[in-house]
Amino acid sequence: MSISRATLEALDRDDRLAAFRDEFDLPPGVIYLDGNSLGALPKATRGRLARAVDQEWGRGLIRSWNDAGWIDLPQRLGAQISGLIGAQEDEVVVADSTSVNIFKLAAAAVRMRPGRRVILSEPGNFPTDLYMIQGLSDLLGGAVELRTVERDRIAEALGPDVALLLLTQVHYKTGALHDMAALTARAHAAGALTLWDLSHSAGALDVDLNGAGADFAIGCGYKYLNGGPGAPAFLFVARRHQDQAVQPLSGWMGHAAPFDFVDSYRPAAGIRRHLCGTPSILGMTALAEGVSILTRAAMQDIRAKSQRMGDIFITLVEQMCDQAGFALISPRDAGQRGSHVSLSHPDGYAIMQALIARGVIGDFRAPDALRFGFTPLYLGYADLWDAVSHLAAIMATGEYRQDRFQIRAAVT
């Protein structure tokens, strides 16, 4: 059954999330399919940042740490994010980058499982997740070992030597979704803890950390949370672990009494011990705007629209580009998929450059994946029709073979 643009226009007219599109500042003529990599700019962010710079910083100066509530912003923003990921308000804090938070929480977790030396993950996990564990392992002189096993073998690999299972809930390349509840239960049965990377989940899926019994999680502020380039990241520590979990980057902002200025480190109670240094206030202020939009939308509506968009996109590619040589590398079943769809093609890089030149922005992941992200708050169904029409035209004319589309940029 083929899909027409009129069908998609009708879906847009019925879309409960349609009004959110006006809250984002998108350039005219652009179809943005990369909100999974860098979320769009919320219109309110510009004014909010101007106020933070002009009033809070410019006029308030150092007084704003108290008067503008800067000092508590990591916890306040963490509490806001907690509602998006099935956590309690005091289980989430905003700090550092996702990479740094992986290091902090993986180290905290292995300290809680003495006698077990393995951190289990999967090959092809997002590189920084694996690299940070390699760095931790080197630092500890091999007392911790990174072991990777293919995703269908993870359950059986959870043996008595495993301290921590580190997985990304939605795979950055394929979009494949892990069963967080089932794998967490399996890890617990084996005596291991879990650390879930929610970089491609938070703001896109109805994540339920406490429903799944998760121990630790981290996630990214600049993807579906629309916090802006290099936005601070968040981390989650289940309440039941908060007294035992001690992270190694023992900076003064995680101290029980930072303004006592004593010489020896004593971790704060609760989630605040997972801070390290002075919070990035302008970054967190921008992130708070992005998050506040999401807290006004129903996550079930976002998930339902995202799944439907993925299904429609796949059908449209098959309908309009059936001879073009694309292979679907994402799960076809929307229940097994996050909020992006990836296609492989040997000329993937050049094809994506040709699409971007036409204003359809996705991205490319080596060696051959074209990635298309669906952000239900600012993308309409008819946009999918227009995007795939451009793709079909590029393939039919061979436009992507032009020299200008072959040159690799630093960021793909």
> Which residues contact ligand PLP (rule: CB under 6 A)?
97-99, 126, 128-129, 168, 172, 197, 199-200, 220, 233
Annotated active-site residue 301? The verdict is no
64 or 99, CB closer to ligand PLP? 99
Sign for the pseudo-dihedral over CA of 353, 355, 358, 360:
negative
Q: How far is the CB of 308 from ligand PLP (least distance, A)?
A: 23
Q: Which long-range contacts (CB under 8 A, 24 or more apart) does 185-192 make?
A: 185/213, 186/154, 186/155, 186/158, 187/158, 187/162, 188/213, 189/158, 190/158, 190/159, 190/160, 190/162, 191/113, 191/116, 191/160, 191/162, 192/113, 192/116, 192/120, 192/158, 192/162, 192/163, 192/164, 192/165
**Nearer of residues 108 and 354 to ligand PLP, judged by Cβ:** 108
CB of 98 to ligand PLP, least distance (A): 4
Q: What SS3 state is found at 146?
A: strand
Q: Which of 32, 216, 222, 224 is an active site residue?
A: 222
What's the CA gap between 311 and 285, in Å, rounded?
35
Q: How far is the CB of 241 from ligand PLP (least distance, A)?
A: 21
Closer by beta carbon to ligand PLP, 79 or else 202? 202
Residue at token pair 């690299």? 131
Catalytic residue among 21, 151, 173, 223: 223
Shortest CB 223 distance to ligand PLP, Å: 6
Give the alpha-carbon dihedral of 88, 90, 94, 100, to 10 degrees. Answer: -90
State the minimum distance, in angstroms, from the CB of residue 247 to ligand PLP.
16
The pair of structure tokens assigned to 331 is 């799960």
Structural tokens at position 287: 């992130």
Could you confirm whether 222 is annotated as catalytic?
yes
Q: Is 260 a catalytic residue?
A: no
Q: Are 352 and 33 in contact (CB under 8 A)?
A: no
Question: What phi and psi, each to the nearest 5 degrees, are found at residue 216?
Answer: -135, 155
* Residue 171 beta carbon to ligand PLP: minimum distance, rounded to whole angstroms: 8
- Cβ closest to ligand PLP, residue 123 vs residue 142: 123
Query: What is the smallest separation between the CB atom of 362 and ligand PLP, expressed in angstroms?
Result: 15
Q: Establish whether 126 is a catalytic residue.
A: yes
Catalytic residue among 371, 378, 381, 383: 371
Minimum CB distance to ligand PLP smaller for 82 or for 168: 168
Q: Write down the catalytic residue from 34, 96, 129, 197.
A: 197
Any idea what DSSP says for residue 141? T
- Whether the link from the prior residue into 367 is cis, omega within 30° of 0, is yes
| Candidates 32, 103, 126, 374; catalytic one | 126
In angstroms, the CA 232 to CA 275 distance is 12
| Residue closer to ligand PLP, measured from CB, 126 or 234 | 126
Whether 48 is catalytic is: no
Question: How many other C-beta atoms can be found within 10 angstroms of the C-beta atom of residue 227?
Answer: 30
* Residue 170 three-state SS: strand
Which lies closer to ligand PLP via its Cβ, residue 196 or residue 385?
196
Largest CA distance in the chain: 71
> Active-site residue numbers?
126, 197, 222-223, 371
